[in-house]
């Protein structure tokens, strides 16, 4: 049987651009994993890893024009957005180099022998070591920042784990380009190129998570696909951590006072956030609670105006476009649902942004309207009009987990409901915003990009410095002579690392 | 149908002592979980939680005589060991009070707005919040330290999570006593007693891990039972973290140089460690690689002498005793296996300690001898005699994950194989010891009691300060006014917590 071809497709026309690769067979996945596993020791040196990540950032920036051209041709995200995404991806690689250099992520604890404890303590020294080969599943909607050179890859390499990346079928040419950049960066730093491997094909992704030498996985994508891989990871003879970012509704609550204070501004801000990138962000505000009265009407007028002026957009691929068109149609046909700006099909290859409204009361108990509480990928949001604060909390209590939850409150400190609503939003999400919009995820140490299931399948983040924690496990050395200890744990601290010794930071 | 009775049984005679409780029905489990969930907010105050944990330690110590009497009657572990275990359990509760007071576990990161970043950073503030109701599955072999008042309960309460504990059927009376101590400690600190709940029964344990309001689970027990619960946790509509400590062989490697230097001492030390507590520690050294030649013979002679002098012992219950007798018989009947001191049945209710030997070469590839690489709970160890270092590494490469791995090496720095063997042992375990014995687990910040599967089902520890991390998830507040932030994240740091602000510790 001939190997299945992998085509790069132009979403603006639906036409194939070129054949990029073939789908990996089970044997090829096995070889890729074994190759990565065989070279894992080469990543042991922190200095080399940091240099590798910085070289990767440099080479990615150098290849920028080519990479952006390929990515735009395959995803239609446009050069402006992709230029920003490339800069962010390079910055992310450099940020992880800094994390490696600093070494706080090693979480070193040293407790000297102490006979006065109950029971007595022997000399104990703990740090974190890499888990092994990490499987990375690239996302459709970020061909760079959450794909081959993205956060999962960067954090895994930073941790000292080689990667086998499963390319997303939406941008195979970009994936090949980026993988070659990373492999060149490895070689420039004296590392074997097999610290980074790329495979294509749906079945290859399934083989990958089941491979005995794969030690952990990172995923960004749909609930259905992510859950299937999560289940496969959990069902292995030796289960592995599966860090999946699956889906998020990203609820927003607009208080009465906020709508009264700046309804027009909130409407325009919401329009910008929900249509950005054709609504294809995992942090798109997909559900907004707005007061039912006149102040809410002002907000909706502004939302209507700006969304009406938004252009039709090409989505990442035809399948997503069709799913969007079907999804908004199904939702808009529900009783009491109106579409002040009708979302749906644009031209043959585009979609038109829009939004739906529904009385919040419709969403306070189980029923067909629950479809409005499920993510619809693309440029649409659902505005639920509430009568009372009790209605807000009743609806919030029925939401699944989210990456973000947002409160729009009065900027004057006279909004008595704000504290109560923030307390109701916090259990729903990994990031809580006040008077901001959730799209745009800063790559910062204090960032948390994750949240209760299905936002993520674990309590981890896929963005920010602590994303490295996903690929490590602690190990403690007991009564081990200095000469046999790894340098990180030796008494003299030869690498000058931040450590906690007998309860004190040094 | 009448409720199934729960009996306390004397393992020294096999006779029932008293009916302690009845097994919880599904409805009762549901009520226990809902009761715990309803009062979760009461644990929000760190000062109150720390006081609660300290009161629990005090009351446990006060009730010590009663508790030890009940535990000895149900487990036959003896008052000396149980007195030590009670002291350790009380110290553990106090240690978690200190963790709560200090607040480093909150892992606070604050990044102020920074327009120079790529992309720019808004104000971001992250800390960790409790997950919700934690299900705790008590262990057979530690009726206190890994059961009702043990590390899982202490760390979950420290994190701010109410607990529903599934009692171990081996010590239901002790469990009831300890639960009442914890509930009294709660009330003394103004907390509702439902922050601690106890249920009995196998089916209750299954219901518990499936309950929608249970947010995480901690387990110490067998591979079979733990894996079934892990699978149930992963298969939920909303999967939850399941931190299970399931089983461990705890390999020991004795180098030629170590055996030459102090074979007699190593043999005696091994005998003490493997027979301690009737070999019922999860850290019992169950597999020992010893040189095949004369130095190894010296070690075995000493091991033989001390084990021969060891008394028969009562195991935790009759089922475990029978499993031990059957397990050692099956293993000793394998070709080339000898029993210098035959382990097996003692009197009607006891077992006799012993050990088996086998040529290491028999264990270098798949075959019936693989049974020797599986944990056998009770006072037995397997000594594999090796000819070469290659044989050692070949056998080690076939071992599953472990809580501990131990190297016995020469104390002079002339043991060239030591570094290589330590590197081969580290991937196998969560704690690596040199010239010590793995039984005895210090409750220290640098401790790690966990390891690759099946030692644990996650990368976490169940002992030591970082055990608290299992019951928390991060949440980040973005552009949130100070007045709406939790005090832990407010700009003025009103609680004086350790925080990392703009990359600097304060």
pLDDT digits 0-9 by tens, A165-212: 999 999 999 999 999 999 999 999 999 999 999 999 999 999 999 999
Residues of A whose CB is below 8 A from B84 = 119
Which B-chain residues 398-417 have CB contacts (< 8 A) with chain A? 400-401, 409, 413
Please compute the mean of the pLDDT values over residues B107-117 and round it to a whole number: 96
Integer angstrom CA distances of residue B414 from B255, B263, B410, B425: 12, 17, 7, 19
A235 touches chain B (CB under 8 A): yes
- Cis amide linkage into residue A454, ω under 30° from 0: yes
What is the separation, in whole angstroms, between the first and last Cα of chain A?
61
With bands split at pLDDT 50, 70 and 90, how would you rate the model's confidence at A1?
low
Among A443, A477, A500, select the one facing B445 at the smallest CB separation. A500
Interface of B with A in 311-370 (CB under 8 A): none
- Min Cα distance B399 → chain A (Å) is 13
Crossing angle, helix A151-159 and helix A79-102, to 10 degrees?
Answer: 20
pLDDT of residue A3: 86
Is the pLDDT at B1 greater than 70? The verdict is no
The pLDDT confidence band at residue A142, using thresholds 50, 70 and 90, is: very high
pLDDT of residue A148: 98
If you compute the radius of gyration of chain B from its CA atoms, what whole number of angstroms results? 24
Decide if B91 touches A, using CB distance below 8 A. yes
Indicate whether B413 pLDDT > 80: no
Quote the minimal CA–CA distance from A20 to chain B in Å.
Answer: 31
Partner-chain residue, chosen from B401, B477, B505, that has the shortest CB–CB distance to A432: B477
A-chain residue closest to B422, CA distance: A484
Strand partners, A198: A165
Q: Which residue of B has its CA nearest to A87?
A: B118
Work out the minimum CA distance from A332 to partner chain B, whole angstroms: 27
The superfamily (CATH) of domain A20-104+130-246+458-473 is: Aldehyde Dehydrogenase; Chain A, domain 1 (3.40.605.10)
What number is the average pLDDT over the span B421-429? Answer: 97
Write down the pLDDT at residue A506.
86
pLDDT of residue A281: 96
Residue B412, pLDDT above cutoff 80: no
Predicted confidence band of residue B339 (pLDDT cuts 50, 70, 90): very high
B230 touching A (Cβ < 8 Å): yes
pLDDT recorded at residue B81:
96
Q: What is residue B187's three-state secondary structure?
A: helix
Quick check: A433 and B480 CB within 8 A? yes
In order of A269, A308, A351, A352, A383, the CA distances from A342 in angstroms are 19, 9, 11, 8, 13
Instruction: Quote the mean pLDDT of chain A.
Output: 96
- Matching residue, tokens 């089902």: B457
Residue A435: which of B231, B444, B479 has the nearest Cβ?
B479
Does the pLDDT value for residue A395 go beyond 70?
yes
* A236 shares contact with chain B (CB less than 8 Å): no
Q: Cα separations (Å) of A344 from A125, A320, A350? A: 59, 12, 9
Percent of chain B's residues with pLDDT above 70: 100
Residue of A nearest to B448 (CA): A476
Interatomic CA distance for residues A151 and A468, integer angstroms? 9
Average pLDDT in the A329-333 region? 97
Q: Are A383 and A307 in contact (CB under 8 A)?
A: no
pLDDT at A118: 83
Query: Strand, helix or coil at A55?
Result: helix
Task: Considering only the beta carbons, identify the residue of A111, A442, A457 that sits closest to B122.
Answer: A442
Instruction: Give catalytic residues of A, as residue numbers.
Output: 245, 282
B window 55-84, beta carbon within 8 A of A: 84
B238 contacts chain A (CB < 8 A): yes
> Which band of pLDDT confidence, cut at 50, 70 and 90, is reported for residue A348?
confident
Chain B nearest CA to A193, separation (Å): 24
State the pLDDT at residue A414. Answer: 72
Q: How far is CA B16 from the centre of its chain?
A: 28
Distance between CA atoms of residues A391 and A396, nearest Å = 9
Instruction: Give mean pLDDT, residues A9-16.
Output: 96
Of B120, B442, B479, the CB nearest to A433: B479
Label residue A461 by pLDDT band (50, 70, 90): very high
Contact of B116 with chain A, judged by CB distance below 8 Å, is answered with no
B300, pLDDT greater than 70? yes
In what helix (H) or strand (E) does residue A383 lie, and over which residues does it extend?
strand A380-386
Q: What is the pLDDT of residue A416?
A: 83
What b-and-e string marks burial along B3-38, b requiring 16 or more CB atoms within 10 Å of the CB?
A: eeebebbbbeeeeeeeebbebbbeebbbebbbbbbe
Domain A251-434 has CATH 3.40.309.10: yes
Q: Which CATH number fits domain B25-105+130-246+458-473: 3.40.605.10, 3.30.56.10, 3.40.50.720, 3.40.190.10?
A: 3.40.605.10
Name the residue ranges covered by the structural domains of chain A: 20-104+130-246+458-473, 251-434
Q: Name the residues of B annotated as catalytic.
A: 245, 282
B374 near A CB under 8 A: no
Enter the ipTM: 0.97
Q: Is B224 exposed, middle or buried (0-12, 13-18, 19+ CB in 10 A)?
A: exposed
Tens digits of residue pLDDT in A398-418: 999 999 999 999 987 678 899
Closest to A403 (Cα-Cα) out of B485, B234, B476? B476
> Is pLDDT above 90 for A327?
yes
In Å, how far is B400's CA from the nearest CA of chain A?
Answer: 9
Does residue B279 register a pLDDT over 70? Answer: yes
pLDDT at position A2: 72
Whole-number pLDDT of residue B348: 87
B41 at the A interface (CB within 8 A)? no
Determine the longest span between alpha carbons in chain A, in angstroms.
77
**Mutation target vs B (from A142, A438, A476, A497; most B CBs, 10 A cutoff):** A476
Q: Is residue A349 a contact partner of residue A314, using CB atoms and an 8 Å limit?
A: yes
DSSP state of B426: G
The answer, for A425 touching chain B at a CB cutoff of 8 Å, is no
d(CA A349, nearest CA chain B) in Å: 31
Mark yes or no for CB contact B230/A231 under 8 Å. Answer: no
B473 in contact with chain A, both atoms CB, cutoff 8 A: yes
Any chain B CB within 8 A of the CB of A388?
no
A444 CB neighbours in chain B (<8 A) are 111, 114, 117, 121, 124
């Amino acid at each position: 049987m001939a190997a299945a071809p992998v085509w790069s497709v132009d979403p603006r026309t639906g036409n194939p651009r070129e054949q990029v690769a073939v789908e990996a067979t089970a044997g090829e996945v096995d070889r890729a994993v074994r190759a990565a596993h065989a070279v894992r020791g080469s990543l042991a040196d922190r200095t080399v890893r940091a240099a590798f990540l910085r070289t990767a950032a440099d080479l990615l920036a150098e290849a920028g024009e080519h990479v952006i051209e390929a990515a735009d041709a395959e995803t239609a995200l446009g050069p402006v957005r992709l230029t920003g995404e490339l800069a962010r991806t390079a910055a992310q690689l450099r940020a992880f180099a800094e994390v490696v250099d600093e070494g706080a992520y090693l979480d070193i604890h040293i407790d000297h022998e102490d006979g006065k404890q109950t029971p007595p303590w022997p000399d104990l020294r703990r740090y974190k070591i890499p888990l092994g080969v990490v499987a990375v599943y690239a996302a459709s909607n970020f061909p760079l920042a959450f794909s081959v050179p993205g956060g999962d890859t960067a954090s895994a390499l930073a941790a000292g784990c080689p990667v086998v990346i499963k390319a997303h079928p939406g941008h195979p040419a970009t994936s090949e380009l980026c993988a070659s950049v990373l492999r060149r960066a490895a070689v420039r730093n004296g590392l074997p190129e097999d610290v980074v491997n790329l495979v294509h094909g749906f079945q290859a992704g399934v083989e990958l998570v089941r491979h005995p030498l794969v030690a952990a996985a990172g995923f960004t994508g749909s609930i259905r696909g992510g859950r299937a891989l999560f289940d496969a990871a959990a069902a292995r003879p030796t289960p592995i951590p599966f860090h999946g970012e699956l889906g998020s509704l990203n609820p927003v609550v607009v208080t009465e006072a906020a709508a009264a204070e700046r309804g027009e501004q909130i409407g325009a801000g919401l329009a910008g956030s929900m249509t950005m990138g054709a609504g294809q962000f995992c942090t798109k505000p997909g559900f907004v609670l707005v007061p039912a009265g006149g102040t809410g009407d002002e907000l909706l007028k502004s939302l209507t105006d700006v969304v009406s002026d938004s252009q039709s957009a090409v989505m990442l691929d035809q399948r997503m476009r069709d799913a969007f068109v079907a999804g908004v149609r199904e939702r808009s046909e529900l009783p009491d649902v109106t579409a002040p700006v009708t979302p749906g099909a644009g031209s043959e290859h585009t979609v038109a942004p829009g939004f739906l409204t529904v009385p919040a009361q419709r969403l306070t108990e189980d029923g067909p309207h629950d479809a409005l509480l499920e993510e619809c990928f693309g440029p649409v949001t659902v505005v639920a009009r509430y009568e009372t604060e009790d209605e807000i909390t009743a609806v919030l209590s029925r939401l699944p987990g989210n990456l973000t939850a947002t409160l729009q409150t009065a900027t004057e400190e006279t909004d008595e409901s704000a504290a109560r609503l923030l307390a109701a939003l916090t259990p729903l999400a990994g990031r809580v915003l006040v008077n901001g919009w959730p799209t745009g995820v800063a790559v910062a140490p204090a960032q948390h990009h994750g949240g209760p299931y299905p936002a993520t399948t674990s309590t981890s983040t896929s963005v920010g410095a602590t994303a490295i924690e996903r690929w490590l496990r602690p190990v403690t050395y007991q009564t081990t002579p200095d000469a046999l200890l790894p340098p990180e744990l030796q008494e003299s601290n030869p690498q000058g690392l931040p450590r906690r010794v007998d309860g004190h930071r040094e």
